[in-house]
Amino acid sequence: MTNWNTFYGPVIEGQFCLEFLDEWLKTNRKNYTRIIVLTDSNVNEKCLPMFLGELKNIGETAIIEIEPGEASKSFEIVSQLNLALLENNADRKSLLISLGGGVISDIGGFLSSIYMRGIDHIIVPTSLLSMIDASIGGKNGVNIQSYKNLSGTFSSSKGVFIYPNFLKSMNQKDLISGFSEIIKHAMLSSESLWKDCINCSSSSEFMNLIPRAVKVKIEIVEKDNKERGNHRFSLNMGHTIAHAIEYFENNNISHGDAVAAGLWIESEIAFGEGLIDRESVDTLQRLIDKWWPRLDLKNIDVLEGMIADKKKSSFSKDFYFSLWSGVGKGAVLISVPEVKIHKAKLLYAQG
Ligand SMILES: NC(=O)c1ccc[n+]([C@@H]2O[C@H](COP(=O)([O-])OP(=O)(O)OC[C@H]3O[C@@H](n4cnc5c(N)ncnc54)[C@H](O)[C@@H]3O)[C@@H](O)[C@H]2O)c1
């Protein structure tokens, strides 16, 4: 089991982490009037029985279930969830547990930070993407229309409990989707994680990469908790293009799949800017092509999507990217001319 103390609360990973959570409940359950578990219908069916079965000390709980998918990450749903908490007698001394993928941890983080001006929150991520990325770092948010994560807060949790066995019920597509964020973490961190990503031959091997991918995210977030400097911005690698794609797809594409395409295109831009060598870019693009079919982007105006995205810098007309400069070398924040963005998109489209 691996345990980190972070600015936004403890993060515990490993096959015994639910036992650890159960011990925590044994000590702390008495301090909470109600425990409410927020989940989606897939996770309710596939993970909730195992989750509750492992927690002998959880006592009486209320379960609130929402529809799976990005469409649930909205103010309307958050508004309904506030009322659902009230109907379940949640008060300021209640605890919300978010059990699910990144959609659930983003909604749960936001909900817990605003309901009655804030209640305690625990995150139990069940998708690969949420285990190594979304559940860590204190950010939450909801989409407004097609504007991704336009509204949200930074919030702490009482703990993030990462139990990799939950991944056994995930379908291949969703599992592979989360691998894109592991690749991104590897690009930012070390040769060893990078090589292990390249050598992965089956999605069952992704599980072995979780502790190192979590560590990368924690280390970057800890240097720049509130994203005021440039450290945390490096986590946006691949995301400028990904968010533009998500905007045009009206968020009907999985985040991880959009990030995979974003990493491919942005690595080409990084090469065009002279930040990285051809061999590294080819290696990355081969890795992405091994796991993802190319997306059809012909109806996607990346520039318009970028303008719409909140990460488009509001103080200038330039298009800013967080671009790769080599394994373990971090990212460079740079403005890129339109023509080079188009060229990279065209190379991707040539498939
Ligand atoms: N806050 C952050 O720092 C941060 C970082 C990265 C991504 N995100 C957000 O995370 C979201 C994407 O997360 P995601 O990919 O986990 O999406 P998701 O929550 O929609 O989960 C993907 C699918 O997998 C299902 N699922 C989850 N766990 C399962 C399990 N163990 N067994 C069976 N099915 C399971 C879900 O029901 C869903 O259908 C996006 O909204 C993105 O913006 C947030």
**pLDDT one-digit tens code per residue, 283-341:** 999 999 999 999 999 888 888 888 777 555 555 668 889 999 999 998 999 999 999 99
> Are 42 and 158 found together in one domain?
yes
Q: For the purposes of burial, counting CB atoms within 10 Å of the CB of 107, is it exposed (0-12), middle (13-18) or buried (19 or more)?
A: buried
Eight-state DSSP code of residue 237: T
| Of the candidates 54, 70, 42, 80, the residue with the CA atom closest to the CA atom of residue 250 | 70
Rounded distance from Cα 239 to ligand 1 centre (Å): 16
Residue nearest ligand 1's atom 33 by CA: 170
Q: What is the CATH number of the domain that holds 156?
A: 3.40.50.1970
Residue nearest ligand 1's atom 44 by CA: 134
Of 70, 78, 130, 227, best ligand 1 pocket probe by most atoms within 8 Å of the beta carbon: 130
Average pLDDT, the chain: 94
Rounded distance from Cα 347 to ligand 1 centre (Å): 29
> Are 150 and 192 found together in one domain?
no
Rounded distance from Cα 279 to ligand 1 centre (Å): 32
Q: Is residue 38 part of a domain?
A: yes
For the chain, what is the domain count?
2
| Of the candidates 201, 199, 235, 200, the residue with the CA atom closest to the CA atom of residue 216 | 235
Q: Please state, in angstroms and rounded to a whole number, the distance separating the CA atoms of residues 45 and 80.
A: 22
Which of 115, 144, 169 is the last residue before a domain boundary?
169
> Are 49 and 143 found together in one domain?
yes
Q: Please state, in angstroms and rounded to a whole number, the distance separating the CA atoms of residues 228 and 61.
A: 38
Lowest mean pLDDT of 173-177, 250-254, 307-311, name the range: 307-311
**Which residue range forms the structural domain that includes residue 150?**
2-169
Tens digit of each residue's pLDDT (9 = 90 or more) over 131-142: 999 999 999 999
Residue nearest ligand 1's atom 19 by CA: 101
| Confidence at residue 303, expressed as pLDDT on a 0 to 100 scale | 84
Ligand 1 atom with the shortest distance to the CA of 40? 37
> Are 42 and 149 found together in one domain?
yes
> Are 264 and 290 found together in one domain?
yes
Q: Is the CB of 29 under 6 A from ligand 1?
A: no
| Confidence at residue 225, expressed as pLDDT on a 0 to 100 scale | 81
Ligand 1 atom with the shortest distance to the CA of 254? 15
Q: Is residue 204 part of a domain?
A: yes
| Spatial CB neighbours of 344, under 8 Å, sequence gap ≥ 6 | 265, 266, 268, 269, 272
| Confidence at residue 285, expressed as pLDDT on a 0 to 100 scale | 98
> Are 225 and 132 found together in one domain?
no
| Confidence at residue 313, expressed as pLDDT on a 0 to 100 scale | 54
> Are 282 and 306 found together in one domain?
yes
Q: Is residue 214 part of a domain?
A: yes
Q: Is the CB of 139 under 6 A from ligand 1?
A: yes
> Are 202 and 91 found together in one domain?
no
Q: Is residue 342 part of a domain?
A: yes
Q: What is the CATH number of the domain that holds 259?
A: 1.20.1090.10
- Report the predicted TM-score, pTM, of the whole model to 2 decimal places: 0.96
Report the pLDDT averaged over residues 53-68: 98
Tens digit of each residue's pLDDT (9 = 90 or more) over 96-114: 999 999 999 999 999 999 9
Rounded distance from Cα 343 to ligand 1 centre (Å): 31
Q: Please state, in angstroms and rounded to a whole number, the distance separating the CA atoms of residues 313 and 322.
A: 12
Report the pLDDT averaged over residues 46-69: 98
Tens digit of each residue's pLDDT (9 = 90 or more) over 68-99: 999 999 999 999 999 999 999 999 999 999 99
Q: Is residue 174 part of a domain?
A: no
Which of 169, 189, 212 is the last residue before a domain boundary?
169
| Confidence at residue 308, expressed as pLDDT on a 0 to 100 scale | 74
Residue nearest ligand 1's atom 15 by CA: 129
Q: Is the CB of 10 under 6 A from ligand 1?
A: no
> Are 159 and 185 found together in one domain?
no
Q: Is residue 284 part of a domain?
A: yes
Which of 119, 143, 169 is the last residue before a domain boundary?
169
Rounded distance from Cα 315 to ligand 1 centre (Å): 32
| Confidence at residue 316, expressed as pLDDT on a 0 to 100 scale | 61
> Are 85 and 207 found together in one domain?
no
Q: Is the pLDDT of residue 20 over 60?
A: yes
Residue nearest ligand 1's atom 39 by CA: 68
Q: Is the pLDDT of residue 52 over 60?
A: yes
> Are 154 and 253 found together in one domain?
no
Residue 3 has a CB neighbour count (10 Å cut-off) of 12
Report the pLDDT averaged over residues 189-202: 95
> Are 224 and 145 found together in one domain?
no
Q: Is residue 294 part of a domain?
A: yes
Tens digit of each residue's pLDDT (9 = 90 or more) over 202-234: 999 999 999 999 999 999 999 888 777 767 889
pLDDT band at 148 (very low <50, low <70, confident <90, very high): confident
Q: Is residue 163 part of a domain?
A: yes
